Structure 1
Amino acid sequence: MRPGVLYGLPKFHKPNIPLGPIISSIDTFNYNAAKFLVPVISPLTSNHYIIDNSTAFAKDITSLNYQNPVTMASFDMESLFTTELIVNNLDISHLDKFGLDKVHFRKLLELTAHHSVFSFDDCLFMQTDGVAMGSSLGPSYANAFLCHHEQDWLEQCPLEFKPLHYRRYIDDTCLLFKHSSHVNLFLDYLNSKHPSIKFTCEMQKDNELPFLDTMVTNNNAITIIAMASIKIPIAFAKRRKEETYRRVLIQTKGNPVEARSPRGAPRGPSRIPPQDGASGDQGRTLGGPLRSNVPPAG
C-alpha cells in the first residue's frame, strides 16, 4: 500500500498550457474498492447526451448542418459530490447482485471518496471534498450526477438561450448556440441549478474550439482536426512542459485554492494531524512554509 501521488498533466491545447492536477491512486488502500464500485454505479451513468470518445464526437458534430451561423463553447464542471444521489437512485435488487445493501454501499462510497490520502512535495494530505481525477470512480461520479439532472435542466431551459446542440464526455460538454450572447446566459442558468456544482466556460476563438483531443473549426461548416496531427517541435514541447510544470508547482505551493482540479480534486487539502507527541505546527498544507512530520512515501 502507498498514498496517492499528486502530479500535473499539461493541457497543450489550452492557453498558457495549464496543468490539470491528477492523483495516481494505483496501489492505494481504497483503489480496489473504487474499481469494485464502478460496475455497481454503471446503471446511472448513461443517456443519449453522452459521447464515448473523440471519434464518436467527431462523427456526431460533423454530421450537423445548420443554415445560420452558430457559436461554439465548451463547459467544464469544477466541483461535484454525489454520494446521496447515487445511493438513493440505485435499486436494492441491483445492489443485491454485488452482495450489498444501501448501508454498506454508502460506507464504501464514503471510504473511496472521503478518505483518499496523497503525497506532494514530500508531505501527506487527505482529500476532504470531491473525487480525485485519477480515481476509478471519477468518471462514474460525474456521469451519475449529470445523467440524473441534465435532461430536466435542458427541458426547463428558457428557449431564448437554450443550446442548439449538447454533447458530453464525462464532465466536458460541447455546445452550439444561436448567438454568442446565449453562452453566458446558459452558464449562469446551469450554475443556479445545484449548490454542489460550478461550471466554467470556454468560447470559440477565431472560429476554433479545442475539445477532448480535437480542434473543432466552424467556417460555414463544422470540421474536426485531430490534435495528434498538429505538430509541435519535440524540443519546444519538452521545454514548454518543464517550464509549465515548474511554474504551476510554484503557484500550487503559494496558493492551494488555485490548484483545484476541474473534477473536484484536490481542493483545499487538509493537513494530516501530527503524530503523538509531535508539535501541531510541524504539519503544513500546500501553502504553508513548514514541513510535515509524516515521513514521505517510500
Structure 2
Amino acid sequence: MLSNARKYIPPCQSRFRHQPIKEIANAEYKTVLSSVEQCLKNNKMSITDQRATQSFTDLERIIHDLYCKRLPHKLYRRARPYQELTSDYCPLADILHATTSILDYFVKKNVITTAKRDKLLPNLEKRELPYLYPLPKIHKLGIPIRPIVSALYAPVNLISKFLYKLLSPIYLQVAYETTVINNIDLVRKLQNYTADGHLTSTTKFITADVENLYTMIPREGGIDALLRFLEKYSKHGKIGPFSIDMIMKMARLILDTNYFAYINKYYKQTRGGAMGSAFTQVYANIYMLEWEQNLIEHQASKNEIYGRYIDDIFMTTSESYDVITAVLQQAQKQDVNIKINPIISNSVNFLDITITNTNGQLTTSIYHKPTADPYYLPYKSDHPHSIHRNIPYTALVRAARLCSNLHDFHRERLRIHVSLLLNSYRPHFISNHFQRFFQVHKADVLYKYFDESTYSQLHRQLLYQTSKREREEQAMKNDPVLFPPVLQQRPWNQRLIWWKKHYQSPGSEANRIQLRFIPRTNRSLQNYLIRKKPSKHKTAPLHQHQTTILLHTTQMETSPPQKNVANK
C-alpha cells in the first residue's frame, strides 16, 4: 500500500519555504495519504478499518521522523570512517585540479588519447561535490538505513567507473570458481554438488553477511592488497598500457578524494570506499579475496561449496556444528576489520532463493522478503505492449529455473498470477501468455496436470540455458590483462546508428515526433523517504570566475565561433 507514495521530493524545499518543518511534514502527509486512500479504493479495500487506521498512523510518524529526525546515533557510531572537516572550505576545486593533472599525465605518457581524456573529465557545468543521503531499506523489517554517497557529477566519478571496468574482468577471471554471479549461478553450483554425490542427510548450509564491507577496509591495508593483486596478475607489470604505478595513482586519487557534503557540513571518508562509487566494489572484492583464501582451501579439501556475492557468503558443510563454528571463528581472527554473522541450518535464504536439505534431498525455491510488494510494471503504463507481453513469460521462466520441484513452481505461478492482477493485467491476457510459455517449451501438460518428470526436464533445460551475458563473456576471447575490454572498441550498435540517422539528421521526418518521458518504475515509498540533497552552494561552490574561465577555455578548444541566435 505504501508503495504509492510520491516519487520525487524537490531538493532543499525546506530552505526556500518559510513554513515550519512540522507544517511542511503535515502537507506532505496529506498528499501521500490522498494517494494511498485512492489506491485502496481502487482495489476495493477499506480505508476506515483498524488495519488502515494503523497504517495511516505509521505513515504520519514516518514522514514526521523524516523531516524532524537526524540520522540515528547508532549509525553515527558505525560511521567511524567519516571525519568531519573543521573548516568550511569546499575541496571541489582541488579534486578537479588533481583529476585533470592525472589525466594530462596519462596523455603525456601516450597511455590514453586526448579524446579519451576528454571523456573521463567531468562536465564542468554540472560538476559538484558528492553528497550523502540515507537510503531506507523498506524491504526489511524495521526499515534500516543504508548510507549512500551520490557521486554522479563528482570529478573522479568517470575515473572510478573506468578503473572498475579495467580491473573487474581480471578479478572475475581470478575468482570465477568462488564468485556467485546470481541466483541461477548458485542453483547450478548446488545441482552439480548434488549430482557429484556430496550432498548427504547431514549436510548443512551456511550464510554469512560481512558487516559494513565498503567502509571497513583500512586505508593502507586496502592499498597494499590492491598492489599485491596487481603484482600477481599483471603481465610484465602492466594491465594493457597502464603500469601498476598508474593504476595505483588512479586508485589513490579516488580514495584520497572521498569527500562529501551532509547537512551543511563537509566530511572525508578515511576508511574503505564510498557506497556509490563503482571502483569501491572491485576494491572491496580484491581485499576480501585475500581474507577468504583459507576458507576456500578448507572447503575445497572437503569437496564443499564456498561462494560469495559481494558481502553475502554461502557455504556447505557436512562437519559438526562445533567444528565448522571453530573454522569460521578462526577466519574472523585473521582480520579484525572483517566481521561476519554466520547462520548454520538445513534451510537458509540466500539472495532471492530458499535452499533446503530434507534428508539428503535438495530443494530450491524463490524467496520473497516479508515486506516485498507484489509489483510488476502496471498494464496501464505507456511502455510498448511487447514489454507487457513478455512480463508473464519471463516471470515463469525465472520460476522454472529457480524452483526445483513442481509444487513450488505452481505456488510461484499462482503468486505471479495474483500480482499481475493487482497491477491491472487482464485475466485472459495472463492465461494466454502463461500458455505461450508452456507451448514454447513443449510442456503443455504442466498447465493442467502435475507431471514431475516433465517438470524436471523443463527445470533442467531452463536452468542451464545460457544467458545473453554468458554468451558475451564466452565470446570474449582476449586476455583482459593484455587487452582490457574497457579499451576495446564497442561493437556496432544498430539502435545508435538508427537514432543518429533518423533523429539527428536535420531533414528527418522523425524530428516532428513529440517525445514523451515516462517513469521507468512505480512510485516508491523508498524514493519518498530519501533525505533531500544539500544546497548547490555546498556541493558546487567554485568561484564564478573560475567556472567561467574553465568553460570558456573548453569552448575555445572544441567549438568554432557561432553567430548569436535569439532565444525562442
Give me the TM-score of the superposition, normalised by structure 1.
0.66
Residue 124 of structure 1 pairs with residue 257 of structure 2? no
Match of 1:26 among 128, 152, 155: 152
The CA distance in 2 between the partners of 1:20 and 1:186, in whole Å, is: 30
Which residue of structure 2 lines up, in the alignment, with residue 253 of structure 1? none
How far did residue 17 of structure 1 move? 3.9
Which residue of structure 2 lines up, in the alignment, with residue 177 of structure 1? 317
- Report the CA distance shift for 1:198/1:165 in structure 2 as closer, same or farther (over 3 A): same
Which residue of structure 1 lines up, in the alignment, with residue 238 of structure 2? 95
Which residue of structure 2 lines up, in the alignment, with residue 285 of structure 1? none
Match of 1:146 among 288, 291, 308: 288
Residue 227 of structure 1 pairs with residue 373 of structure 2? no
Which residue of structure 2 lines up, in the alignment, with residue 296 of structure 1? 538
How far did residue 215 of structure 1 move? 3.5
1:212-291 → structure 2 map (5 Å cutoff): 212-220=351-359, 221-227=362-368, 232=373
Match of 1:188 among 320, 329, 345: 329
Residue 111 of structure 1 pairs with residue 253 of structure 2? yes
The CA distance in 2 between the partners of 1:68 and 1:213, in whole Å, is: 24
Cα RMSD between the aligned structures? 3.8
Give me the TM-score of the superposition, normalised by structure 2.
0.37
How far did residue 89 of structure 1 move? 3.1
- Report the CA distance shift for 1:151/1:222 in structure 2 as closer, same or farther (over 3 A): farther
How far did residue 218 of structure 1 move? 4.2
Q: Which has the higher contact order (CA 8 A, sep 6+)?
A: 1
- Report the CA distance shift for 1:7/1:167 in structure 2 as closer, same or farther (over 3 A): same
Which residue of structure 1 lines up, in the alignment, with residue 80 of structure 2? none
Q: Deviations over 1:152-202 (max 9, x none)?
A: 443268x8xx7932111123211223344445423321112234x313114
- Report the CA distance shift for 1:219/1:238 in structure 2 as closer, same or farther (over 3 A): farther
Q: In structure 2, list runs of 5 or more residues that go unmatched.
A: 1-126, 376-522, 541-568
The CA distance in 2 between the partners of 1:88 and 1:141, in whole Å, is: 12
Matched to 1:128, the amino acid is T
SS in 1 for 2:539: coil
How far did residue 49 of structure 1 move? 0.6
Contact kept in structure 2, 1:122 and 1:297, CA below 8 Å: no
Residue 40 of structure 1 pairs with residue 151 of structure 2? no
Matched to 1:85, the amino acid is A
How far did residue 31 of structure 1 move? 0.7
Residue 59 of structure 1 pairs with residue 183 of structure 2? no
How far did residue 80 of structure 1 move? 2.3
Match of 2:339 among 199, 220, 223: 199
Length, aligned pairs only: 244
Which residue of structure 1 lines up, in the alignment, with residue 499 of structure 2? none
Bigger fraction of residues in helix? 2
The CA distance in 1 between the partners of 2:297 and 2:304, in whole Å, is: 12
- Report the CA distance shift for 1:183/1:28 in structure 2 as closer, same or farther (over 3 A): farther
SS in 1 for 2:154: coil
Contact kept in structure 2, 1:76 and 1:172, CA below 8 Å: yes
Matched to 2:167, the amino acid is I
- Report the CA distance shift for 1:60/1:216 in structure 2 as closer, same or farther (over 3 A): same
Contact kept in structure 2, 1:215 and 1:227, CA below 8 Å: no
Q: In structure 1, list runs of 5 or more residues that go unmatched.
A: 250-291
Matched to 1:68, the amino acid is S
Contact kept in structure 1, 2:138 and 2:371, CA below 8 Å: no
- Report the CA distance shift for 1:50/1:33 in structure 2 as closer, same or farther (over 3 A): same
Match of 1:83 among 202, 212, 223: 223
SS in 2 for 1:223: strand
Which structure has the greater CA radius of gyration? 2
